[in-house]
Amino acid sequence: MSHAAFLSEASLIASRNLTDNIRAVSASLENGHLSVTYYMASEPTIGDEEERETTVAELIAAFPEIKTADAYSEEVTSDVVALRGEQVVFQR
């Protein structure tokens, strides 16, 4: 799997797992470890968390080389998204 293929699939998956509160999604895959962060305009709701977890599950299904995963939600107060070394795969 190429890095470009991962980013393309992550972008597609994230773009269909959104709520109005979600401002951006970033993701990375390194050494079998997936990391996904959802950036919110306000405190994450249960619906936001469910969309994030769906994205993680779909990425695990799409990439069997994923062995471990972390998922985060962060509230952002501006258009600037502070990344954890991840690539933005969706942004409003």
Per residue in 27-67, pLDDT (tens digit) is 999 999 999 999 999 999 999 999 999 999 999 999 999 99
Q: Which residues contact 82 (CB under 8 A, 6 or more apart)?
A: 74, 76
The enclosing domain of 26 has a CATH number of: 3.30.70.1350
pLDDT score, position 90 = 84
> Range of 24's domain?
3-91
User: DSSP 3-state helix, strand, coil percentages of the chain (rounded to 5)?
Assistant: 35, 35, 35
Question: Structurally, how many domains does the chain consist of?
Answer: 1
Lowest mean pLDDT among 7-11, 61-65, 71-75, 79-83: 79-83
Work out the percent of the chain whose per-residue pLDDT is above 90: 75
